Homo-oligomer: A and B are copies of this chain.
Amino acid sequence: MKRRTAIGLGVAAPLLASRRARAACPELRGTGDLVVVVERARGSVLIAETTGRTVLGRVEGLGDLSHGSLVFSRDARFAFVFGRDGGLSKVDLLERRLVGRILQAGNAIGGAISQDGRLVAVANYEPGGVRLFDSATLGPLAEVAAVGSDGKRSKVVGLVDTAEGGFAFTLYDSGEIWLLDPSDLSAPRITRFAGIGSLPYDANVTPDGRFYLAGLFGEDGIVLLDLWHVEAGPRRILDGYGRGEAPLPVYKMPHLEGRGAAGEHLLLPAVGRHEVLVVDKRSWQEVARIPTPGQPVFVVVRPDGREAWVSLAHPHNGKVAILDLERLEPAGTLSPGRAILHLEFTPRGEQVWLSARDDDRVVVLDTRRREVLASLPADKPSGIFSTARAHRIGS
């Protein structure tokens, strides 16, 4: 009996070691089909995958994620999560753990990653400005205080990376667009455009990285800067864009989504109105307005450019509007859940993932059949981010 036990142990020991070895190995997988879902109230993110449509895990301890957003490392292994509390967190999507976290400001609104993937930039409200960090270590590299022409530090909005290796951002308080060239980190070069208009509330760049557009809250119109010809300076387009003379109440400021570009058109959510503006990218003239069953918030073009799917502000945020981008007319309305805060297509467009905050669910739809493929539990989900963004300019 004793001998058999001893033999048994002799066999078991290597087996055990081998089992331990396998258990010690984190799951080997590609990172091309991952999505990260912000759980705003809980201060966590879910990591999910779009092939089997399952949640792989949760990473907690990311602070205040109201208006939380994130960007990906160039290898799509890490997410850099920007919290409202000024937190910058680095999440390993494979080991599914927090690998770094700093509180880099008192109040922040988002960020970007440089074209080469080395620099993470954060847009700060308090103190106003942009700070640059090493994407490998989160070590601080440079700070640009956004002191506007009024002599005060301004809140920074609309921070994006550009195709020229730099960043563009907008000073909310003083109404300026700044370009940041980080080639020399000891003295980042700044190009300033002051007097662009009153209270630019958000900005973004077209998917090619060429046109930087800022929306104004203090007056009507959009500010357009052609980054291929910065010498020409910013100009005003779409004077009819904005709250107008008899403004509707604005329940939620729309986002200027870079993904709102489709072929020759750019789609802009009207401010306060129940419509999406269609703008010709050659003339920058409005060519159509497509009605929506509520105030549009995110206007997201399906990857094939044939449709846009639009999330709506309260009290219509249980609906999602679908627009036909060839006919420039409505193509249907869905009711996929309560309080749809964000939506993200898989990169080739066959699925769309939607955050239904008040259902504590992420709903996945087949985009052609508009049928539910999966409904995944999530704690007050907001932003959804596909790792395919790692490969995009202005993401």
Contacts and interface: CB of A to CB of B under 8 A. Distances in A.
Q: How many copies of this chain?
A: 2
Nearest to A31: B30
Interface in A68-126: 72-78, 93-95, 115-117
Nearest to A301: B208
Interface stretch (A2-10, A37-45, A139-147, A385-393): A385-393
B392 A29 contact: no
A18 B25 CA distance: 11
A21 B30 contact: no
A246 interface: no
Given A388-B391, A393-B348, A74 B228 contact: no
Contact size range, A: 35 or more
Contacts of A17: 17, 20-21
A50 B72 CA distance: 15
A32 interface: yes
A239 B210 CA distance: 33
A203 B243 CA distance: 48
A306 interface: yes
Given A17-B17, A30-B31, A32-B72, 17 more contacts: A21-B21, A24-B25, A29-B94, A30-B75, A30-B77, A31-B31, A31-B76, A32-B77, A51-B74, A115-B350, A165-B368, A208-B263, A228-B326, A304-B393, A347-B390, A348-B391, A388-B388
